[in-house]
Amino acid sequence: MEASALDELWVYLSGNPLVSLLVTLLAFALAVRINRWLGGTPLLHAVTLSIALIITFLLLTGIDYATYFEGAQFIHFLLGPATVALAIPLYDHRERVRQLLVPLLAACGAGIVTAVASTLGLALLFGASPQTVLSLAPRSVTSPIAMGVAEQIGGIPSLAAGLVLITGSIGCALGPFIFRMLGVRDPVVQGFTMGLAAHGFGTAQAFAKLGAMAGAFSGLAMGLTGLVTAFLLPALVALFGL
């Protein structure tokens, strides 16, 4: 009697958006705590960690992704207005952006071509299936854009979104190391590079570790890369004969 009442309660709760929302927030808070406890290491990003925690929870409880997303979509939805809000730091630092316009555009072009060409080339070299290659192609672009582009060129949108996130955490882990190797200290250059190579993850890290100015340039790089890639990628993919 007791057990079946509990079962009923669980069936009711697990189909309820409340559970996935609560689990998402708690997992994130826990992941941030763990990351801080490990000395804020970029190797184990709080987002990667919370995703792993939530996937483990869902697999253990047998809740499928569609049910989870019904609740989590309220958080996911805020990505839209947050992207729009990137205009604010950009506006705050408009003078600096105007000064650096030429280096910014040159770095953006070089970065995008490197990202797309090396991704396609390496993935083909390592023998990934065509569908995987096409889902990998937009990996350095912020996920809402990447999903649209992947769909357009014949990849799998939700896989693309996931690969974008992994790219983001890899970028956050590698970034500080590569800047040290190249002797790059300017927070503006670091921020812009992180935004280009690691989109929203890089931008969030730039805001947190390098300050608002680096964050603004990171957001600019993320937006610019997204815009340019959306136009450029279909042509580049055709060039590789995919």
Partner 1 sequence: MPLILGMSLLLGCQFAGELLARLLGLPIPGPVIGMVILLVGLTIRGKVPKSLRTTGEGLLRYLTLLFVPAGVGLMVHGRLIANDGVAIAATLVLSTALTLAVTAWVMSSLATRRGGR
Site for partner 1 in 16-75 (CB under 8 A): 24-25, 27-28, 45-48, 50-51, 54-55, 58-59, 65, 68-69, 72-73, 75
Considering the rule CB under 8 A, would residue 214 count as an interface residue with partner 1? no
How many of the chain's residues bind partner 1 (CB under 8 A)? 109
Determine the residue type at 128: A
Considering the rule CB under 8 A, would residue 155 count as an interface residue with partner 1? no
Cα torsion angle, 227, 231, 232, 238, sign: positive
Out of 16, 152, 154, 213, name the contact with partner 1 by CB under 8 A. Answer: 152
Out of 60, 129, 235, 241, name the contact with partner 1 by CB under 8 A. Answer: 129
Residue with smaller CB distance to partner 1, 18 or 78 = 78
How far does the chain reach from its first CA to its final CA, in angstroms? 60
Q: How far is CA 207 from CA 11, 121, 157, 213, 224, in A?
A: 41, 32, 28, 8, 18
Considering the rule CB under 8 A, would residue 102 count as an interface residue with partner 1? yes
* Sequence-distant contacts of 154-160: CB under 8 A, at least 24 apart: 154/242, 155/131, 156/131, 159/132, 159/135, 160/135, 160/136
Out of 155, 209, 223, 237, name the contact with partner 1 by CB under 8 A. Answer: 223
DSSP annotation of 186 reads: -
Out of 11, 43, 79, 239, name the contact with partner 1 by CB under 8 A. Answer: 79
Considering the rule CB under 8 A, would residue 150 count as an interface residue with partner 1? no
- What span, in angstroms and rounded, lies between the C-alpha atoms of 118 and 13? 46
Considering only residues 176-195, where is the footprint of partner 1 by CB under 8 A? 178-179, 181-182, 184, 186, 188-190, 192-194
Contact 216, 93 (CB under 8 A): yes
